[in-house]
Amino acid sequence: MDVRIVPKTLRGSVTPPGSKSMTHRLLIAAALGGGVSTVENVSFSEDIEATLRCLTALGGRWERAGGSSLRVAGCGARPFGVLPRFDCGESGSTLRFFLPIALAVCGGGIFSGGGRLLERPLGPYLALFDERGIFHEQRGGVLTVRGSLTPGEYRLPGDVSSQFFTGLLFALPLLPGPSRIVSTTEIESRDYILMTADALASAGANPAELLENPGFFAVSPFAYRPFIRTVEADWSQAAFWYAANFLDCGVKLDGLNPNSIQGDRIVSDLYWKLARPGNTVMDVSSCPDLLPPLAVMAAFRAGETRFTGGARLRLKESDRLTSVAAMLSALGGEVQELPDGLAVRGKPRLAGGTVDGASDHRVVMAAAVAAAACDAPVTILGAEAVSKSYPGFFDDYKRLGGEVHVL
């Protein structure tokens, strides 16, 4: 789907969808327990649908409980034997979370996905599997793992993705003895691990015990128990409406928790940092998903913004440093791609033009917001990519007064 956006000032109120990151975690915690849990305010994006498919493959059951609520029945123990198949779509979270879970619950699995999913880094897991004699093979776009996790120490780098830690934090409590996870580097995006601990706490874990050691995570066996939780609104998606307000729109954001443990709540502070004129440097290593909307803000501010710490962005749905730079350049912005970031020099207005969405939901949403302050219409190719995380984005955009034409 290609869309053409006519520049219009956006005004009105919007409630971002439920946090995709927390929804993944709560659904998995619900599936690993006994009984039936209820997770409310679920946004049925393509990534969440991938996690629901994998819950079913694992042996869990789920049903809609009206509106945006889901009831999830735990999968229980499964005999080792025929490996289940896990279709992860294009969801890196789903793949990285379920790999160790599948080993702990049913002795492995056969994992597939679309887009660049199986090109994204799995090295920290594969190194652990080699150490522990766990079979793994990637062939023909399919990854097969087979073996058993055992209690003990798991060492892995913290500067690739916090998702590897989350997968182990879900799987290790299912083992018969205590374990610990040791990071061999400083952990980036640690707030996502705090979100995992919060989801585990809903299912009966003791988060204080889990997080009490600064150098590692101690994991004790426990039985996941059922719970009821409402998913908070997503600060990662709210960031695009913050960017709209930076461009002199008047978007009121409802439903956000200012005290949320979501790390991307920092967008509210970064917004004001960018509002001050002059050259500035911004490290996005702890909030890489914010780079696209922050780059849009930078493209319209007075001064140059250098984004650093974003090397991991090259391994997302697109090479997000290249695709964001190309998007801003196509609209008439001044941007230079750096090895681990971008240098963006702001201008009062951008010209408009045609943008390749790069099959990347965050690039598409960033381009749509930038269109509000362009001199001419903006055409976005592949705009359907928003379904990956925010299926209702263009509906909300139009409710705010945006003019969107499907081509």
> Following CA atoms 121, 123, 125, 128 in sequence, which dihedral angle do they give, to the nearest 10 degrees?
180
Choose one of 183, 214, 230: the last residue of a domain.
230
User: Both 254 and 191 in a single domain?
Assistant: no
The CATH number that applies at residue 259 is: 3.65.10.10
User: Both 344 and 386 in a single domain?
Assistant: yes
User: Both 224 and 326 in a single domain?
Assistant: no
pLDDT at res. 77: 59
Residue 210, helix vs strand vs coil: helix
pLDDT class of 186 with cuts at 50, 70, 90: confident
Whether the per-residue pLDDT at 326 is higher than 80: the answer is yes
Whether the per-residue pLDDT at 190 is higher than 90: the answer is no
pLDDT at res. 210: 73
Concerning whether 395 is annotated as a catalytic residue, the answer is: no
Tell me the percentage of the chain whose pLDDT exceeds 70.
98
Q: Which of 30, 60, 28 is nearest to 47 (CA)?
A: 28
pLDDT tens sequence across 67-87: 899 999 988 656 566 899 999
Phi, psi of 168 (to 5 degrees): -70, -35
User: Both 180 and 265 in a single domain?
Assistant: no
Of 289, 356, 360, 396, which residue is the catalytic one? 289
User: Both 264 and 365 in a single domain?
Assistant: yes
User: Both 197 and 262 in a single domain?
Assistant: no
pLDDT tens sequence across 206-243: 877 777 776 788 999 999 999 999 999 999 999 999 99
- Global pTM reads 0.94
Report how many domains make up the chain: 2
Tell me the percentage of the chain whose pLDDT exceeds 90.
85
243 secondary structure, DSSP code: H
State CA 317 to chain mean position distance: 11
User: Both 200 and 267 in a single domain?
Assistant: no
pLDDT at res. 206: 83
Q: Which of 211, 128, 121 is nearest to 169 (CA)?
A: 211
Choose one of 169, 201, 230: the last residue of a domain.
230
Length of the chain in terms of residues written: 407
- Placement of tokens 């196509």 in the chain: 330
pLDDT tens sequence across 91-106: 999 999 999 999 999 9
Choose one of 186, 202, 230: the last residue of a domain.
230
pLDDT at res. 80: 64
The token duo for 368 is 């749509």
User: Both 182 and 245 in a single domain?
Assistant: no
User: Both 145 and 275 in a single domain?
Assistant: no
Mean per-residue pLDDT of the chain: 94
Whether the per-residue pLDDT at 158 is higher than 90: the answer is no
The residue-averaged pLDDT of 330-346 equals 97
The token duo for 107 is 């002795």
Domain assignment of residue 274, given as a range:
3-17+232-406
User: Both 191 and 319 in a single domain?
Assistant: no
User: Both 48 and 126 in a single domain?
Assistant: yes
User: Both 137 and 126 in a single domain?
Assistant: yes
